[in-house]
Amino acid sequence: MKCKVCREHAVVDIRRHNAGFCQDHFLEHARNQVARAIKEFKMFRADDRLLLAVSGGKDSLALWDILIDLGYDVTGFYLDLGIGGYSNRSKDLSISFAESHSAKLLVRSIETEHGFNVPELSALTGRVPCSGCGLSKRYEFNRAALEEGFEVLVTGHNLDDEVATLFGNVLHWNTEMLGRQMPVLDERILGEGDDARVALVRKAKPLVKLSERETAAYALLRGIDYVIEECPMVEGNTQHRYKHAITLLEESSPGTKSQFYAGFLRKAADRFRDAADNQADDSEVVACASCGAPTVRRGAHESRCSFCRTKDLAMKRKAEARRGPARRKSGA
Amino acid sequence: MRVKLRNPDRVVQVKGPKTVVDMLDELDIVPEAVLVIKDKTLLTRDERVDDSDEVEVRPVLSGGAGDGE
């Protein structure tokens, strides 16, 4: 196979483009796709301060490399989830990347910040690990961006991530989520006048035009050392199963993924915007009574966000587990 | 040829020569779900791999919470 640009030997084949690329032109293609997504969806401005959620995986490290290359002011944010050796290795790789690129990296630990790690959160609350992990990451990414004064939170969601999410939302006709599934989400302001404050920072996903295979190829060809192993808690994850099903479709009909996603954005996303807006109108959005993050008011009761309620449950059960043996001992 | 597979790490032998796509088919691996690596660079699916070659088949699909991993 020849490179479609220079006719030299190709190292990457992208069937949905019916094209092969040599190393240099593939790297250029990847950077162009990111630059195009940023421009097309008006994700951020050249002088915005960006906080990039970094996991040590191929997507976030490839995106970090590309954003640095494109000249953006980007700081990495690694959140240690406390998933044993997997978290240790992914943190080391994130730190190594930052050092080798002279890039800024902020590191926080969920255990230090909140008193539990992701495996504990799952065991204490009965939540599926990926659900508790996603909730914690969304919360901490936003908190870090606000506390550190960043204008935009950037994540490494790629085309496959977005297609798998879209597939799941369509399968379950989750119209509210379909109304919000965009490559960029505006910041959310709470309060009015002098009390107005940004409660949810602007979010952007510049990898939406690149498949997971392309981000992996980019990382490899750039010599980026990323964590290859799967998270040990991913077993049975729904998103993962959707990706495998969609990959089979893509293999037999190249272009299926991008047509599904681009078609949704072009022809359908607007039709679900009302569902998302109505949800927000019907149930008043207020500041969480514990942390101030936006949440939906629940009846006459004090409103607390999903993360604070989950955290309280985890800490309550952790305390009960600690008291348990002592109580038995004193009763003996 | 020696083929390194991931998650979990293991090595299998496949008789060469054959194209990358035929090698993956023999291993029951969907080409779209992997990269095939030889000498720190990538092979397209039409390339030939010989009996004496060592290649790595690296999965690209990641799962999880889907929050920007």
pLDDT tens-digit profile of A82-121?
999 999 999 999 999 999 999 999 999 999 999 999 999 9
Cβ-based neighbours of A97, under 8 Å, separated by 6 or more: A54, A61, A64, A65, A76, A103, A224, A225
Convert the pLDDT of each residue in A187-240 to its tens digit: 998 888 888 889 899 999 999 999 999 999 999 999 999 999 988 888 778 888
CB contact under 8 A, B58 and A216: yes
Is there a contact between A190 and A199 (Cβ–Cβ < 8 Å)?
yes
pLDDT of A283: 56
The span from the CA of A285 to the CA of A262, in Å, is 30
Q: What are phi and psi of A223, to 5 degrees?
A: 70, 25
3-state secondary structure of A73: strand
Residue of chain A whose alpha carbon sits nearest to that of B60: A213
Task: Please name the residues in contact with A14: beta carbons below 8 A apart, sequence gap of 6 or more.
Answer: A20, A21, A29, A211, A214
Q: How confident is the model at residue A278 (pLDDT cuts 50, 70, 90)?
A: low
The answer to whether the CB atoms of B58 and A155 lie below 8 A apart is no
Indicate left, alpha or beta for A105 from its phi (over 0: left) and psi (-120 to 50: alpha): beta
Q: A131: distance to nearest CA of chain B, Å?
A: 6
Which one of A212, A249, A257, A307 would you mutate to disrupt binding with B, by most B Cβ within 10 Å of its Cβ?
A: A212
A55 to chain B, any CB pair closer than 8 A? The answer is yes
Which residue in chain B has the smallest CA separation from A225? B40
- Among B32, B35, B67, beta carbon nearest to A250: B32
Which of B30, B42, B64 lies at the smallest CB-CB distance from A11? B42
Give the end-to-end CA distance of chain A in Å, rounded to a whole number: 77
State the pTM of this model: 0.93
Shortest alpha-carbon distance between residue A234 and chain B (Å): 5
